[in-house]
Structure 1
Amino acid sequence: TCHRCLHIHPDPARSYRSEKKFECEHCGWEGNADLNGANMIALLGAAVNQPRG
């Protein structure tokens, strides 16, 4: 999943990740795959920890 556009690769057998590189074909974001993963964890954590109001 791309942390910028939240797009998941449409083919379950493939991935936007290649070794340490992540390249989203949907929004064009390119960068370190571990950074992308860390940003996804941060987004999920923020969503879980938001108080309802």
Structure 2
Amino acid sequence: MTTKTKGRPVFELRAGSVHLTVQRIPGWLVALIATASGAAGTWLAQR
């Protein structure tokens, strides 16, 4: 097995003629979602 083998995609969407495949999720996107979730949770807890 080589180091450049294709793994299963993280997300795959097929709708008609549209085919969207995400191979990996960027770290900055994970950090952005975590920050936004924490801020929303804090805001909801203080209401």
- Check whether TM > 0.5: no
State the structure with bigger RCO (CA 8 A, min sep 6), 1 or 2. 1
Q: Could you tell me the TM-score, scaled by structure 2's length?
A: 0.44
Query: Which is richer in helix?
Result: 2
Larger radius of gyration: 2
Query: Which is richer in strand?
Result: 2
Q: Could you tell me the TM-score, scaled by structure 1's length?
A: 0.39
